[in-house]
Amino acid sequence: MNPRETLTSPRSEASAGNVAGTAARPEAETAAPVISVEDLAIAFPSLDGRETVKAVDGVSFAIAPGETFGIIGESGSGKTTIGRALAGLLPPTGGTIRYDGEDLRGMSRRDWRDRRRRYQIVFQDPNAALDPRMTILQSLIEPMKIAGGRSPEEMKAEAMRNLDRAGLRAELADRHPHELSGGQKQRVNIARVLPLNPRLIVCDEVVAALDVSIRGEILNLFAELQREFGIAYAFIAHDLAIVAQVSDRIAVTYLGRFMELGPAEAVTERPLHPYTAALLSAEPRPLPAHLRAPRRIELKGEIPSPVNPPSGCRFRTRCPHAQGLCAQQAPEWREVRPGHHVACHFAGPDGLVEHASQQSSAKTDTGGDHR
């Protein structure tokens, strides 16, 4: 059984109170998206100020209410930058982000602060996300205090309710962050955004800093909250297995662009892009040898510099199928199967077009990992 099912399928039996979030998910394509991104670009000046680092360079997608949208990629692929932009922490240098259909740029600062509250982020480092001088209770109350409109007693009651909702004992409320474990701190970080009634939570490598034994519990907490409140997640991770497990759709980033975007199962079982295929083949699988993919596709070299990305297809410098065309022309973003997009010249509905994959067999690593 696909492990993804065990975590996410209960969502379909969600309580009636959250119709908006849960009911909308199956027809994700038609429901008004929580957030939609068009041609997003984010560039930073390089350290000497003479060049620009194009961390994200033309990315478009939309996240439906109650959906989990996975974003995977290597370090430097721009996935964290996308997440920070979604949470409103980085202003886009190009393109637009629409929050529930609205572009928040040009709003007054006060309006913008009020509106952004429903788009939250949970960070990779649970410790650094909590002010070390505040007690857990103070940290839990802070978002409500900023939002206003609640009495101190209400805020405290709500904070204690969320602490319990996140599976933490009430007595932790008076502790300081350094007295809690990483998993407990991450639960606090999750609990504190709940009173803001978030539409979307960006989960930026939320379990990467946690013990393997804790990861499952935290992921389950996220799944439960989604079921209960219909929250959409942008789930960012470099760990394909985790993203595949929790996501409804997966986007694969490489050097600031999407290489492939499609339903989680399709992307992980029948990838269209050679980069996705390489990522998948690098993933250790708990399967007997004869069930595993026969070969591991090894990518040579490092991810190129985002200051000077390669011409044409960005992946061509490391692609086992690269041809002359790839250097000349950037591949179009095509919908090859329903809901499944890819940026590769040679991708067809059944995977890579034949002549390309034949060439590849010479370059794939036959002597590789047999275990």
Partner 1 sequence: MTAIPDPHAVAPAPSVRAPADADPPPPPPRPFLTRLGDWASDDIPAAIALVVLSVIVACSIFAPWIAPHDPTLQNYDIILEAPSPDYLLGTDDLGRDVFSRLIHGASASVYAAFLSVGVAALLGIPVGLIAGYAGGYVDEAVSRIIDTFLSFPAIVLAIAVTGVLGIGLTNAMIAVGIVFAPQLARLARARALVLKQELYVDAARCFGASTGHILIRHVLPNAIQPVLVQMTLLMAVALLAEASLSFLGLGMQPPEPSWGSMIARAYLYIQLAPEQMWAPGIAILVTALSFNTLGESLREALDPTSR
Where on the chain is the footprint of partner 1 (CB under 8 A)? 84, 87-89, 113-114, 116-117, 119-121, 123, 125, 128-133, 142-143, 146-147, 170-171, 189, 193, 196
Nearer to partner 1, 116 or 270 (CB): 116
One-letter amino acid for residue 329 of the chain = Q
Least spacing, CB of residue 64 vs partner 1, in Å: 22
Picking from 242, 273, 276, the residue whose alpha carbon sits closest to that of residue 74 is: 276
Contacts of 98 (CB under 8 A, 6+ apart): 33, 35, 36, 37, 38
Question: Of the two residues 88 and 256, which places its CB atom closer to partner 1 in the complex?
Answer: 88
Closest distance between partner 1 and the C-beta of residue 146, in Å? 5
Q: Are 156 and 195 in contact (CB under 8 A)?
A: no
| Dist CA 194 CA 20 (whole Å) | 17
Least Å distance, CB 139 to partner 1, is 8
Residue holding tokens 């100020």?
A: 49
Instruction: Closer to partner 1 by CB, 198 or 309: give it.
Output: 198
Distance, in Å, from the CA atom of 230 to the CA atom of 61, rounded to the nearest integer, reads 19
Report, in Å, the least distance between residue 227 CB and partner 1.
23
Query: Among residues 84 and 249, whose Cβ is nearest to partner 1?
Result: 84
Sheet bearing 35-45, strands edge to edge? 52-63, 35-45, 94-99, 102-103
- In whole angstroms, the minimum distance from the beta carbon of 171 to partner 1 comes to 8
Q: Which is nearer to partner 1, 114 or 217 (CB)?
A: 114
Q: How far is the CB of 225 from partner 1 (least distance, A)?
A: 17
C-beta of 22: minimal distance to partner 1 in Å?
Answer: 25
Beta bridge partners of 102: 99
Q: How far apart are CA 50 and CA 48, in angstroms?
A: 6
Strand-pair category, 340-342 with 35-45: unpaired
Residue closer to partner 1, measured from CB, 146 or 307: 146
| Minimum CB distance to partner 1, residue 248 (Å) | 24
Q: For the CA atoms of 96, 271, 273, 369, what is the dihedral angle to 10 degrees?
A: 130
Tokens of 51: 């060049």
Instruction: Mention every residue, 6+ apart, whose C-beta is less than 8 A from residue 179.
Output: none
Tell me which amino acid residue 195 is. Answer: P
Nearer to partner 1, 112 or 333 (CB): 112
Q: Which is nearer to partner 1, 203 or 277 (CB)?
A: 203
Q: What residues are paired with 94 via a beta bridge? A: 41
